[in-house]
Amino acid sequence: MASRIQEADPLSDPSLKPAPSAATPALKRPTDRDTQRKTEASTVAVKSPQSGLRNHVAASALSMGVHIIVLLAMALVVSDPPKEEKPRFIVSTAPEVAEEFEEFEVEVPLNQPEAAQDVSDAVVMPDSNVDVQVVSNATDLDAAPLSVELTDFSSETATSSDLLSSVGAIGGKATGIGGRSNPKVRQQLVSTGGGTPQSEAAVEAALKWFINHQLPDGSWSFDLTRCPTCNGQCTHSGIMKGNTAGPTALAILPFLGRGYTQLEGPYKKQLEYGLNALATKVVAGKGNAGEGCYVQGLTGICLSEAYAMTQDNRLQLPAQLAINYVMASQDPAGGGWGYSFRAPGDTSIFGWNLVALKSGHLAYLAVDPLSVKRAVGFLESVQSDEGSGYGYRGPGNSPALSAVGLLSRMYLGWKKDHPALERGLDRLAKAGPNANLYYDYYATQVLHHVEGERWTAWNNKMRDSLIKAQSTTGHEAGSWYEGFGEQSHGAHGGRIYCTSLATMILEVYYRHMPIYSQQSVDEDFKE
């Protein structure tokens, strides 16, 4: 190996250097003839300066030419300049609704819900005579991120140390939900708002009825014969027997209104399974609950509200998916919502979907302002008398749809002294409650927001009629249908639907404080 390295490096081997030839001496002594030749050459150089100059110029020219040739050659060797690229245009198309959530997987609980009777006795009604320390600014509670009962959209209207201590700093902009979850605050709001121990007992009885009718997979059905613990003992199942997302949302919303979630309250496990069933359905449909825009609005409200109240990260993506689909299903021309995807809207379906957007907004989910702007346009297309009355798909003055329209106007920024709002309120108060729970549900909220004598008169009739009509015997105990179910949508949703609306009406005192207790409609969600 060493010999090979030496052979490869000839400069390091003296034996490979050329030796002086024997015929030619390494050093040659100059002769006289050589000296003479050098002298003659020097003499000629001195005597011919012009000749030397010419030689010098020629040499310089030759040198310059050689350099030019070398530079040109080097220029040719240099790589070609980069080719000029043509402008590129990036074209993007709107992704399908909720495309970024395609791979989200909902955690499915391994265990089935516990039997309702195992936990139904866990709820203890608070003593109505307990002395409550009232928070100084409790009347300024802002809106809960509520189903169809969204109010004050500001984020700093209550003393968080008192009102949120039981639920933590939760829910995006939904800082006023302490009235729901704190039993002492809730009791005080019931007392000052017009509720009674009897109305509170009716709410708890209704929640127990819902628990007793939850299906093994965590969902609810309008068809009560599907419930193993009921098996048809309760009458008046809804005719929409294949629907599960709608009744599940309607069943969960009263629990949330009471302050009970999958993390707090006596029904944590049941609500965990219920929310999971609803979220799984929404994720599978990439936001679409699969049962029309009525149900889509209810689903968006329920998931957004549950997420806002708990900040449970498992609910964030399903809630956003549901809100995305609500926005995508809006009629792009008219701004409303119809029975199918992007169909011309009607005011009845409009109400649920607008509140879904409001619930998403309060939960800090992404809501496109353009959807809100379009919604305002729809309201203007169905209003009468400058906005005091509202029709179905055109100008009108239906009592139920006027209540929907007026509540929507409140959410979107109308002031308390708006002339059209005042005229509409007077008509609702004069008409009073009736057997149509859909109308009662919206009108109760509208009048509660403005308080005063109109609210007091309305509430006394509404509250007492519901308490009187609630079933108190057998498997139907705690539910509603008789006396109310014969009216709007009662046959479609049956006992589940009627019980949900009636319960939320009786929760109105603490689900939110009136909007106009301080003029604070959210600047980000108004026309």
Q: What is the pLDDT of residues 49-76, one digit of tens each?
A: 444 545 555 566 666 666 666 566 555 5
105 in a structural domain? no
Q: What percent of the chain has pLDDT above 70?
A: 64
Q: List the single range of 28-32, 255-259, 265-269 with lowest mean pLDDT.
A: 28-32
Dihedral pair phi/psi, residue 224, rounded to 5° = -70, -15
Q: What percent of the chain has pLDDT above 90?
A: 58
117 in a structural domain? no
- pTM, rounded to two decimals: 0.69
Q: How far is it, in rounded angstroms, from Cα 452 to Cα 200? A: 22
pLDDT of 395 over the 90 cut: yes
Number of domains composing the chain = 1
Structure tokens of 73? 């050659």
409 in a structural domain? no
221 in a structural domain? yes
Predicted local confidence at residue 150, as pLDDT:
31
SS3 448: helix
368 in a structural domain? no
Instruction: Find the helix or strand (DSSP H, E) in which 401 lies.
Output: helix 399-411
Predicted local confidence at residue 147, as pLDDT:
32
* 206: Cβ contacts below 8 Å, ≥ 6 apart: 254, 470, 478, 479, 480, 499, 502, 503
Question: Which of 298, 187, 311 has the alpha carbon at shortest distance from 244?
Answer: 298
- pLDDT tens readout for residues 459-499: 999 999 999 999 999 999 999 999 998 876 788 999 999 99
What residues are paired with 383 via a beta bridge?
390
94 in a structural domain? no
SS3 117: helix
Instruction: Find the helix or strand (DSSP H, E) in which 308 lies.
Output: helix 292-310
Domain span at 242 = 140-328+442-517
Q: How far is it, in rounded angstroms, from Cα 481 to Cα 235? A: 9
DSSP-assigned letter for residue 12: G
Provide mean pLDDT across the span 184-192.
91
pLDDT of 283 over the 80 cut: yes
67 in a structural domain? no
Task: State the Cα torsion 172-174-176-180 to the nearest 10°.
Answer: -110
Q: How far is it, in rounded angstroms, from Cα 219 to Cα 40? A: 123
pLDDT of 221 over the 90 cut: yes
Residue with more model confidence, 235 or 516 = 235
C-alpha torsion sign, points 445, 446, 449, 450:
negative
Q: For residues 302 and 313, is the Cβ–Cβ distance under 8 A? A: no
Question: DSSP string spanning 119-148?
Answer: TGGG--PPPTT------TTGGG------SS
Predicted local confidence at residue 340, as pLDDT:
92
216 in a structural domain? yes
Number of neighbouring beta carbons within 10 Å of residue 489: 18
Instruction: Find the helix or strand (DSSP H, E) in which 389 lies.
Output: strand 389-390
Predicted local confidence at residue 495, as pLDDT:
97
Structure tokens of 309? 């109240």
Residue with more model confidence, 224 or 2 = 224
pLDDT of 376 over the 90 cut: yes
Provide mean pLDDT across the span 498-513.
93
pLDDT of 29 over the 70 cut: no
